[in-house]
Structure 1
Amino acid sequence: MRVWRQLTDFITRHGAAALITVHEVKGSAPRERDARMVVRPDGAFHGTIGGGQLEFLMLDIAREMLSQGRGPARIIDQALGPDLGQCCGGRVKILIETFDKRDLDDIAPLVEAEAKGGLFDIECRMQEGRVWRELASEADVAPGSKWRETHGEDRTPVLLFGAGHVGRALVLALAPLPFAVRWLDDREDAFPSHVPANTSAIRMRSPEAEIAEARPDSVVLVMTHDHPLDLAITAAALRRGFPYVGLIGSATKRARFEKRFRELGLPQERIASLVCPIGVSGITDKEPAVIAASVAVQLLQVRERRQLDRNLSPLAVSGGT
């Protein structure tokens, strides 16, 4: 969710809005630090801090604060087990703020930063009861009255080659998930008239150029209408060494393609990394929607492993803020 755009929309349409943020987490909690929800004066909201009694209570507090007009922020220190009966057992601090049209100019740079995509940090400080924010510099935040928040959307890029039945089902399966899909097909009128917001449908001119220009952390799925085209795209993707290259097809198709890959001189370790058939094991139904759901789970597993590897890298361990 693009928090600052949503907040701006609520303020513009309804005159005011509240922002609820998970400010600190100790122990087990329904959501992680920096989880957020944006609340209208009538109680409608976008986002979640985990549901359950915690979310209901914070929504009530936010609505009460909005009824009193734009005012000071509140930090609520909340135990989950004894206070709310939630079995998580941890403790959270929740930051609740109210905004109105006076804040739109201050919010505008944050809306612009969100629109660029990716994650970004905001440096925060409490001043006169309200939180003041600015885009963070490279310098570390001083302890005490200042802290950093992370905003934006961490979407994993997906190159999806092919707009057939499974391609269409997969685009819909990935629509609510943290992926940015570049959907490619060389056929005229291959795409539906409407695609999800996280998807760009593109008439493909050069699959080699698409592979060469893709981000190195992209995941690649190949399911075109043409086997020789599948072969060429898959070979190029394997050479590039993406974290996931998936090819729709059977074990027989894989064996035939592996033979051709060896003839093309691809290293055996790259050939072995190919995912074919695609999807999680144990699901044999070949309905497009079922295949798409299975592949979506597999991509989430790949994304989770990549994030874990990044968080455990020496740079991540030594360079945290």
Structure 2
Amino acid sequence: MGFDREALREAVKTHGKVVRVVIAGIKGSSPREVGASMLVWKDEQSGTIGGGTLEYQAAEAARRQSKPSRLSQHALGPDLGQCCGGAVSLLSEIYDSASLTHIEGTVVARPVTQECEKDDPLDTQVQPMAVKRVLARSRAQGVAPEPQLIEGWMIEPIHEPTRNIWIWGAGHVGRSLVDVLSPLPDLAITWVDTGPERFPSSIPSGVTAVPAAKPAELVRHAPPEAEHLVLTYSHNLDLELCNRLLLHDFRFAGLIGSATKWARFRSRLAALGHLPARIGRITCPIGDPDLGKHPQMIAVGVAAQLLRPARQNELKKDLSA
């Protein structure tokens, strides 16, 4: 997890004043990890710190909050009616368009004491030596620090998606896939179809919709580590996308369809000059056929295939190769 600057900017742009509530520390068990956060505004909220009474009370307190920064302690036992048995520290910070100007760089380190005033720029606060050591070690190693609270300062890396997902097709299954995958913080989704009318009127945050009369021409712009899901309305377009992907490069490519469709595609891709081993890099069918053919069920199966632990291990091996 990290500090999702873009989601916060979008929330502030849409709703004005927004309170970001983040788990700053944990003792014992907790429904979420340090760094888990939610955004709260007048009538709604997004994200989650674990649900239940803790989240409800934290959201209500955020809506009443007047101080720019507030650190609070919560025991997750009988008092809250939760069975985790641990305790959490919550940092609640008010953001608006002015305070967002201080959020820059790759790591956000700021004081969280009650006395921190809104008009006191973050860069005028004296960083404790322990904070400086964490930041220096992070820079030297090129590794983002873990979210943590140190001597009254909260340190969080700026969140950056770690996986590029390209979804080809905005039909029923494509829309269902975007609904399932778009809330996940580590995914940057590029969504391609033949025209703007193919997309819904509202595109989720973190999803880039790209209408293109000739979608296959965009394959060359995809990064080689991207993961592709091909599920357009046209078998001919699906075939051309597979052909272009094999000529390009990718970390994963999945094609929606039956075993019969894939047998035909393998034959046609071979006729286009692709070797069997290369063709075998495309996964077809995708998802879990046992779940059925309802678009949401297909989307759930495909998402599970992308996210299952074995798949994550494969990606880690690819990255270390």
Fold equivalence (TM over 0.5): yes
User: Any conservation in 2 of the 1:78–1:92 contact (CA below 8 Å)?
Assistant: yes
User: Alignment partner of 1:49: what SS?
Assistant: coil
Q: In the alignment, does 2:221 pair up with 1:213? A: yes
The equivalent residue for 1:46 is 46
Residue 277 of structure 1, CA deviation: 1.2
The equivalent residue for 2:59 is 59
1:80 to 73, 76, 80: 76
Q: In the alignment, does 2:220 pair up with 1:227? A: no
1:287 to 273, 291, 294: 294
Residue 173 of structure 1, CA deviation: 4.4
2:115 to 117, 124, 129: 129
Residue 164 of structure 1, CA deviation: 4.1
Query: Could you tell me how far apart the structure 2 residues matched to 1:200 and 1:255 are?
Result: 31
The equivalent residue for 2:168 is 161
User: Any conservation in 2 of the 1:22–1:92 contact (CA below 8 Å)?
Assistant: yes
Show structure 1 runs of 5+ residues with no match: 114-118, 315-321
1:252 to 260, 266, 271: 260
User: Any conservation in 2 of the 1:163–1:190 contact (CA below 8 Å)?
Assistant: no
1:200 to 202, 209, 220: 209
Letter in 2 for 1:139: A
Q: In the alignment, does 2:303 pair up with 1:296? A: yes
Letter in 2 for 1:84: L
Query: Could you tell me how far apart the structure 1 residues matched to 2:276 and 2:28 are?
Result: 44
Query: Could you tell me how far apart the structure 2 residues matched to 1:124 and 1:20 are?
Result: 14
User: Any conservation in 2 of the 1:8–1:107 contact (CA below 8 Å)?
Assistant: no
- The size of the alignment, in residue pairs, is 290
The equivalent residue for 1:6 is 11
User: Any conservation in 2 of the 1:126–1:145 contact (CA below 8 Å)?
Assistant: yes
Identity %: 34
1:20-58 CA deviation, whole Å, 9 max, x = no partner?
Answer: 211123453222222222334x56433321111221332
User: Alignment partner of 1:291: what SS?
Assistant: helix
The equivalent residue for 1:182 is 190
User: Any conservation in 2 of the 1:34–1:150 contact (CA below 8 Å)?
Assistant: no
Query: Could you tell me how far apart the structure 2 residues matched to 1:271 and 1:234 are?
Result: 9
User: Any conservation in 1 of the 2:170–2:193 contact (CA below 8 Å)?
Assistant: yes
Residue 191 of structure 1, CA deviation: 1.3
The equivalent residue for 1:319 is none
User: Alignment partner of 1:139: what SS?
Assistant: helix
**Residue 240 and residue 44 in structure 1: after superposition, are their counterparts in 2 closer, same or farther (change >3 A)?**
same
1:150-189 CA deviation, whole Å, 9 max, x = no partner?
Answer: 3446374332223444334444444544444433334x67
The equivalent residue for 2:136 is 139
Query: Could you tell me how far apart the structure 2 residues matched to 1:35 and 1:287 are?
Result: 32
Show structure 2 runs of 5+ residues with no match: 124-131, 140-149
The equivalent residue for 1:106 is 99
Query: Could you tell me how far apart the structure 2 residues matched to 1:244 and 1:58 are?
Result: 40
**Residue 96 and residue 294 in structure 1: after superposition, are their counterparts in 2 closer, same or farther (change >3 A)?**
same
1:263-274 equivalences in 2 (<5 Å): 263-264=271-272, 266=274, 268-274=276-282
Q: Aligned-pair RMSD on alpha carbons?
A: 4.0
Q: In the alignment, does 2:286 pair up with 1:278? A: yes
Query: Could you tell me how far apart the structure 2 residues matched to 1:75 and 1:264 are?
Result: 62
**Residue 63 and residue 201 in structure 1: after superposition, are their counterparts in 2 closer, same or farther (change >3 A)?**
closer
Residue 218 of structure 1, CA deviation: 2.1
The equivalent residue for 2:88 is 92
User: Alignment partner of 2:239: what SS?
Assistant: helix
**Residue 183 and residue 76 in structure 1: after superposition, are their counterparts in 2 closer, same or farther (change >3 A)?**
closer
